[in-house]
A = this chain, B = another copy of it.
Amino acid sequence: MGDLMAHDRMTESLDRNACAGSGAWSAFLRAHALVTRRVEADLLSAHRLSLVSFEVLERLADAPGHRLRMADLAELLVVSRSGVTRAVDRLERDELVTRERCDSDLRGTYAALTDRGMARLLAAAPTHQAGVQFYLLDPLGPGGDVAMATALGPVADRLATSGIAAKH
- Residues of chain A touching chain B, judged by Cβ–Cβ distance below 8 Å, are 1-7, 9-25, 27-38, 41, 55, 58-59, 61-64, 68-69, 71-72, 75-79, 121-122, 125-126, 129-130, 132-137, 139-141, 144-149, 151-160, 162-166, 168
Contacts and interface: CB of A to CB of B under 8 A. Distances in A.
A162 B135 CA distance: 13
Given A32-B32, A144-B151, 13 more contacts: A1-B133, A6-B72, A6-B75, A9-B72, A10-B76, A10-B125, A13-B64, A16-B62, A27-B148, A29-B78, A31-B156, A135-B158, A139-B157
Copies in the complex: 2
B130 A28 contact: no
A56 to B, nearest CB: 10
B20 A55 contact: yes
